[in-house]
A and B are shown apart, each in its own frame.
Chain A
């Protein structure tokens, strides 16, 4: 039976108790804000634009029904009835009171959850494919390795004060859905000469200096994973820049020093570190493999599913867009998009969370995933159960057939919540989604990744959007730059800026011109926006964004 609960619950409880005492000392004046700030950040507590924000880790996006119900309880009891899925497979609560956060952490600890290392210059949540263990194109389930990395990196004494935050992603499928090239370290599980190992990427990242990672090791035998990762991070820990926050990520270290120099140091350190790993990691991995063993899939007829598809057009179109191919015949992974037109991307109400928990128990082998595109996945649903799942989702307003379409937008919280933001993201996403629905163009446009960030830190992954939108503050007014041609998946690419920015109220008209131009120039309906852009180059798209006056 699948169980995501970490075995180190005592440690999590200890940390919650420790934070409670720290909050008490802050309130009674024993700790100044300067002293308290790093302590609260180590526990995922930020101070945002309107309130504190608590970011809770959902390791590699995997969450059990009882943990999901706990999030629903926290949303109702300590927040305003909802939570927000993040692009790193975590959840954020936007309105907790500092004085109540210790209670929240205690309750999270009771279900094996916490907010440790969701902030600060440490190794953050290890992310992976939301379809891990389910996808038809998967070589191997990456989650046992993700859990190995999680347990190794949690409270790793050497890596609590890195030059800057550090993000690791791991993918085990033919198609990379974990954005491996956009992480500080990216790992792709591969087979070579009958041996399992990793293609190791290093130095990718978005933010103010977007760079795709580079392959530092073509093939790392899987048994050397922790020693090699430790070698990379310890090398970075010493040579990464601490003089300038904006040059402190490993991508700058690799870029400035050169991959060859960096790699030589890593390989030398690897030989030293290798001696430290005497097999405890192998034993742990064996336990994790058991924990992530496949559920007891059932072998049943899918006639009811096919009949419902034939009968119900809305169901058919939902199954066309919101299912992902499963490795087991008769099964599918369900993408529950939190992108209903006009709603906030990634926001889930307590009732919706409870419904997902119920559906996972009733139809989904007790398994739920948070995806990096701010949706939720039921990874294992037998096709005969899909009509019932669809009906239940529909009642909760969660059965919109838009996965991978125009309205399936990634958007950071932007200036509606974030203290770093320079402009709003959420209402831009809401207006784009509503506009193309009302125009009746969403199905015709087909697969499209729109990504919106409210500042250059790029939490909304705008660089990886086929269409990226970056909100900036230009002389005290919101202004939005549009980038084109980014891709996080098949051919990783950083989008290129199309030209001058647009004021807030001109963004939707600009995207409208852009997508109507795409519909004009595409070869046929099967050519996606990104494919047409690659074939034709930016010129026709820039011309649509910046039309010349007729008399010019």
Chain B
């Protein structure tokens, strides 16, 4: 994560961080921050992304350590391109903990409708 990632239309990115109070992973979305990576805003323009990152840095009372990272456009929203981000979006592989539990809750909610 040390190299600053520069998003382009061909290689877009998302802004991600941790929730200050609770610590879980969050992604910048249209109206703030979301724990659902599929809702993340996909940045394709360097200037717009830089501005958004500055805004994120300014929200240090909400999030910790925001950074821009590569993502690709998927059928249900942005998807990770590197396995580290894939783990952040899923949770650990030894237990069903972390964000994967939110996804399951969302799916069962959808199937109950």
B3 at the interface (CB under 8 A from A): no
Contacts of B20 in A (CB 8 A): 26-27, 98
The 6 closest A-B pairs by CB, nearest first: A416-B92, A52-B23, A51-B23, A97-B22, A50-B98, A344-B94
Given contacts A416-B92, A416-B94, A426-B94, contact A47 B87 (CB under 8 A): no
Question: Which A residues from 51 to 73 make CB contacts under 8 A with B?
Answer: 51-52
Contacts of A96 in B (CB 8 A): 23
Q: Which of A33, A47, A430 contacts B23 (CB 8 A)?
A: A47
Q: A47 touching B64 by the CB < 8 A rule?
A: yes
Question: Which B residues from 20 to 59 make CB contacts under 8 A with A?
Answer: 20-25
C-alpha gap A29/B59 in the complex (Å): 10
Contacts of B22 in A (CB 8 A): 51, 97-99
A contacts with B, residue count (CB < 8 A): 30
Q: A97 touching B18 by the CB < 8 A rule?
A: no
Q: A47 touching B60 by the CB < 8 A rule?
A: no
Question: Which A residues from 477 to 495 make CB contacts under 8 A with B?
Answer: 477-478
Contacts of B93 in A (CB 8 A): 416, 424, 426-427
Given contacts A27-B61, A427-B93, contact A49 B21 (CB under 8 A): no
Kindly name the residue among A26, A47, A49, A50 whose own CB sees the greatest number of chain B CB atoms within 10 A: A50
Given contacts A50-B88, A426-B94, contact A99 B60 (CB under 8 A): no
Given contacts A51-B23, A80-B97, contact A417 B64 (CB under 8 A): no
A48 shortest CB reach to chain B, Å = 8
C-alpha gap A52/B19 in the complex (Å): 10
Residues of B whose CB lies within 8 Å of any CB of A are 18, 20-25, 60-61, 64-65, 81-84, 87-88, 91-95, 97-99
Contacts of A417 in B (CB 8 A): 92
C-alpha gap A33/B60 in the complex (Å): 7
A541 shortest CB reach to chain B, Å = 29
C-alpha gap A80/B97 in the complex (Å): 8
Q: A27 touching B21 by the CB < 8 A rule?
A: yes
A237 shortest CB reach to chain B, Å = 28
Given A29-B60, A95-B97, A347-B94, 14 other A-B residues pairs in contact with their CB atoms under 8 A: A50-B92, A50-B97, A51-B22, A51-B23, A51-B98, A80-B97, A97-B21, A98-B21, A99-B21, A344-B95, A415-B84, A426-B94, A427-B94, A477-B83
Tally inter-chain residue pairs, CB-CB below 8 A.
73
C-alpha gap A49/B60 in the complex (Å): 18
B15 shortest CB reach to chain A, Å = 16
Q: List 8 A-B contacts (CB under 8 A).
A: A80-B95, A98-B21, A99-B21, A99-B22, A347-B94, A415-B83, A416-B93, A430-B94
A37 shortest CB reach to chain B, Å = 9
Q: Which of B60, B81, B87 contacts A416 (CB 8 A)?
A: B87
C-alpha gap A52/B97 in the complex (Å): 14
A54 shortest CB reach to chain B, Å = 10
Contacts of A28 in B (CB 8 A): 61
C-alpha gap A95/B65 in the complex (Å): 18
Contacts of A478 in B (CB 8 A): 83
Q: Which of A29, A32, A33, A476 contacts B83 (CB 8 A)?
A: A476
B52 shortest CB reach to chain A, Å = 18
Q: B64 touching A50 by the CB < 8 A rule?
A: no
Question: Which A residues from 419 to 458 make CB contacts under 8 A with B?
Answer: 424, 426-427, 430
Residue of A nearest to B81 (CB): A476
A241 shortest CB reach to chain B, Å = 21
Given contacts A29-B61, A477-B83, A478-B83, contact A50 B24 (CB under 8 A): yes
B72 shortest CB reach to chain A, Å = 13
B27 shortest CB reach to chain A, Å = 14
Contacts of B18 in A (CB 8 A): 47, 51
Contacts of A80 in B (CB 8 A): 95, 97
Contacts of B64 in A (CB 8 A): 33, 47
Q: B91 touching A50 by the CB < 8 A rule?
A: yes
Residue of B nearest to A100 (CB): B22
Q: B24 touching A51 by the CB < 8 A rule?
A: yes
C-alpha gap A142/B32 in the complex (Å): 55
Contacts of A430 in B (CB 8 A): 94
B26 shortest CB reach to chain A, Å = 11
Contacts of A347 in B (CB 8 A): 94
C-alpha gap A477/B93 in the complex (Å): 16
Q: Which of B82, B87, B94 contacts A49 (CB 8 A)?
A: B87
A353 shortest CB reach to chain B, Å = 17
C-alpha gap A49/B84 in the complex (Å): 9
Contacts of A47 in B (CB 8 A): 18, 23, 64-65
Q: Which of B23, B60, B87, B92 contacts A32 (CB 8 A)?
A: B60
A431 shortest CB reach to chain B, Å = 11
Residue of A nearest to B84 (CB): A415
A548 shortest CB reach to chain B, Å = 31
Contacts of B92 in A (CB 8 A): 50, 416-417, 426
Residue of B nearest to A32 (CB): B60
C-alpha gap A71/B18 in the complex (Å): 26
C-alpha gap A478/B82 in the complex (Å): 10
C-alpha gap A351/B20 in the complex (Å): 30
Residue of A nearest to B70 (CB): A476
C-alpha gap A512/B77 in the complex (Å): 41
Residue of B nearest to A342 (CB): B94
Contacts of A97 in B (CB 8 A): 21-23
Contacts of B98 in A (CB 8 A): 50-51
Residue of B nearest to A413 (CB): B92
Given contacts A51-B23, A99-B21, contact A415 B97 (CB under 8 A): no
